[in-house]
Amino acid sequence: MKDNISDMLTRIRNGQKANLLEIKLFWPTPKFCLVILNLLQREGFIRGIKFGIFNKKYCVVVLLKYSELQKPLISKIERISKPGKRIFCSGKVFWNLNTGKGVFLIATSKGLLTDTEARAANVGGEIICYIE
């Protein structure tokens, strides 16, 4: 079994460390990965995504974002819930999470939400990853 979400997060992490402007995710990219990328764009961690063809293969191009001093905006990106060990959390427990400046991405019954949106909606779910 292949973990596409961990692969995508690792590519983003490595691309930020290498100061790349963009990374490529080759097709077929799961819809859930595209939802995560849209949420990262909405939260301001990446510049955007676009679709293209590279070496006669369809790919999703992720445009990475840096600060004015050319420092990566994503200093830490880590997968929490893995295929071998799922981590679930109720809506009441989110009040105890110490997020600092980071964001937890949570798969809920209302879709993929950040921890602040899940607190406001008072819903729980599977903690997908943490981004700082």
Sorted by where each starts, the structural domains of the chain and their CATH numbers stand as: 4-64 (3.30.1370.30), 77-131 (3.30.1490.10)
CB within 8 Å of 75: residues ≥ 6 apart: 132
- Tens-place pLDDT, residues 69-114: 889 989 899 999 988 899 888 877 766 666 567 888 999 999 999 9
- Tens-place pLDDT, residues 2-25: 888 999 999 999 999 999 999 999
Cβ atoms within 10 Å of 11's Cβ, excluding its own: 15
| Residue owning tokens 């200093």 | 75
pLDDT top residue among 44 and 95: 44
